[in-house]
Structure 1
């Protein structure tokens, strides 16, 4: 179908627009996508494509939210307020039993607790409320011995690390993000959407796979039992990811695992603020902390997603971008990352859930186009 691409690129970045236009033209359904790129803090790409999406349209960004939450964790470690080598239980005494008392904050943040969900799963209201999740999991039995393996805690990691933040500071991770990151840097990325911004919000849209993609889905490997648990698909009925993102309680509370609402501009600005600064403000993270969040924390294979060497300090590593790059993908197809070497901060969002879920494949082409220009410069 024909999809109109709107927005601007700076001189020298025209090849990125051409790649975005080529992707949009090839999509069988309107992607309702946004792409924003900053280079050493300066916005150089600001594009959007779709029938009902503008550059300032807010929508659910799913697990890109984890990057916002773990930026707060990194700031507390940098400040010396939070010690990643201390046991979680030293901050959160109720976090005990089944070996949990030996788990360190560093291991927790790298998805090592084994507390990927409850046996019965979580309702939409429960999975939207970090306080409820933390209370339910504090004394729960993990799905593996804590600290002996790691696996993606898709809908609960923000509640677990957020409870440590709350015990240390007396504030929620959402409050600290708003005060230390979002408001001062003017980011269009929220953990809890203010009522006055509701008019800009538009829902995440269902995936519309082609016949070929449906056949690919049918022939693919079924979800493992651990993956079903981690993605809250073991409950009856299984949780619908689109319904989760669009649920009013998700929007209002901004659960730190996957409940953020934002634009591609906001995602790119988040990562620019982390490593290079935005609008004349200093970067949030010092160089040694930038290196720490990107450093591999999880050798071997993620037991939930089967992804090798997946995490740094709460962030997903970005080996295809570079050894110092870090970021996070979102379930509907979005992606955000910072690369301190090239000075790139990248943000991509999709309202139309992309096939097959997780980081949409066009990100590979878009990222390659962006890095080619940045490296030439």
Structure 2
């Protein structure tokens, strides 16, 4: 993909509600270097029509900026006359970064005594016991060791993701694949099962539980599954970007996503997708809202004096559930907790020397995370979807700049 139009017309950067860098223990030059890397350099790859980034350090917002266009700029097309500039408060679909939220809601329900994470899923959802899954625990589902990483080949398609009851029925009928013994990323299936457990135990939609435990206490405008009609004119549009996805990469992507790569992007811009509740894949939020969520976790589960999670709950949620291990779905070494993707040393998902970091990646360079060693919580939103290319080098290099300037915690 090449971004059409004069690049000089595309470099407007908007900012919102930032404190002076010194209030967060950073210099002005450090903040501008981070901004240049996380926004300017990412946008300059010409992969992302919009880039939005929010950084909190020691709880203070030092960067909350956007660059590019939320709508009206796409692959090989001229800038549309009605194009809309991306703003810091533009809502974006988090895709798989949504998994962190359904995971923490599951941990919250356990904290309240509604479930036991170490009990089998079938204790709460009897039909799940079919096809060798009777011993699979909730904890194993959270840690991507549930043994049902994907829908059956004949059950794939957009309608699978938008019909909740059909999803649950199909997952329950899916044979186990070495559940509890093999690490394999569950792109969509795990979130539906966790959401169904919450629905059955609370006797209410999972969105109600999300509203009560996270969205309302954190004062979020968006931060829920799907998007209401009045907000859809503001949402950022997603685009296929980069080189065409061909075999064998295309086959790997479809196995991991349960849909062809291009279909995932197309579906994400459709009303029926925004109407649906997909716990693993369609939470909408601004970058600041996602950073706020991780700051609450970084602050021990407390937000503005209100305790949302007990310390023991968060300790379990970020505790490693596995050593770095080859993920049989993603085909790369990964380290998970019960619900989160963990950083690694010397290099990991959150950049160099990020072994204490935790968070979650979303479809093609959407990232929300907290790094206790650096006192930061951050969210990166991007709208171009490309699997391979030089933009990945820029992505890791930009994280390196961020980590370098933030250093370690102050004494």
TM-score, shorter chain, exceeding 0.5? yes
Contact map agreement 1:128 1:259 (CA 8 A) in 2 = no
Which residue in 2 is equivalent to 1:308?
333
Of 94, 98, 101 in structure 1, the residue corresponding to residue 134 of structure 2 is 101
> Is 2:271 aligned against 1:263?
no
Deviates more, 1:84-93 or 1:320-329: 320-329
Taking structure 1 as the reference length, what is the TM-score of the superposition?
0.87
SS of the residue corresponding to residue 102 of structure 1 reads coil
Distance 1:249 1:328, change over 3 A: same
Contact map agreement 1:291 1:324 (CA 8 A) in 2 = no
Distance 1:318 1:284, change over 3 A: farther
SS of the residue corresponding to residue 120 of structure 1 reads helix
SS of the residue corresponding to residue 216 of structure 2 reads helix
After superposition, the C-alpha distances for 1:148-195 in whole angstroms (9 at most, x for unaligned) are: 212111122210111122222223332211221012212342212123
Contact map agreement 2:127 2:172 (CA 8 A) in 1 = yes
| Structure 1 spans left out of the alignment, 5+ residues | none
Contact map agreement 1:77 1:84 (CA 8 A) in 2 = yes
Structural mapping, 1:1-377, within 5 Å: 1-2=7-8, 3-7=11-15, 10-11=20-21, 12=27, 13-24=31-42, 26-51=44-69, 52-115=85-148, 116-142=150-176, 144-187=177-220, 188-207=222-241, 209=242, 213=243, 222=249, 228-233=254-259, 240-276=263-299, 280-282=304-306, 284-299=308-323, 300-319=325-344, 320=348, 321=350, 322-356=354-388, 361-375=393-407, 377=410
Taking structure 2 as the reference length, what is the TM-score of the superposition?
0.80
Query: Number of matched residues?
Result: 364
1:355 shift after superposition: 4.4
| Structure 2 spans left out of the alignment, 5+ residues | 1-6, 22-26, 70-84
After superposition, the C-alpha distances for 1:62-108 in whole angstroms (9 at most, x for unaligned) are: 11111111111121223332211111111111111232001111111
- 2 CA distance for matches of 1:340 and 1:290? 13
SS of the residue corresponding to residue 185 of structure 2 reads coil
- 2 CA distance for matches of 1:137 and 1:159? 9
- 2 CA distance for matches of 1:348 and 1:107? 28
- 2 CA distance for matches of 1:201 and 1:29? 18
Distance 1:355 1:104, change over 3 A: closer
- 2 CA distance for matches of 1:331 and 1:254? 17
- 2 CA distance for matches of 1:179 and 1:198? 23
Distance 1:201 1:281, change over 3 A: farther
- 2 CA distance for matches of 1:41 and 1:250? 34
Contact map agreement 1:61 1:332 (CA 8 A) in 2 = no
Distance 1:32 1:278, change over 3 A: farther
- 2 CA distance for matches of 1:21 and 1:141? 44
Which residue in 1 is equivalent to 2:75?
none
Deviates more, 1:117-126 or 1:68-77: 117-126
SS of the residue corresponding to residue 96 of structure 1 reads helix
- 2 CA distance for matches of 1:15 and 1:127? 40
- 2 CA distance for matches of 1:366 and 1:281? 34
SS of the residue corresponding to residue 279 of structure 2 reads coil
- 1 CA distance for matches of 2:169 and 2:130? 14
Contact map agreement 1:107 1:113 (CA 8 A) in 2 = yes
SS of the residue corresponding to residue 43 of structure 1 reads strand
Q: Which structure has greater strand proportion?
A: 2
Distance 1:40 1:82, change over 3 A: farther
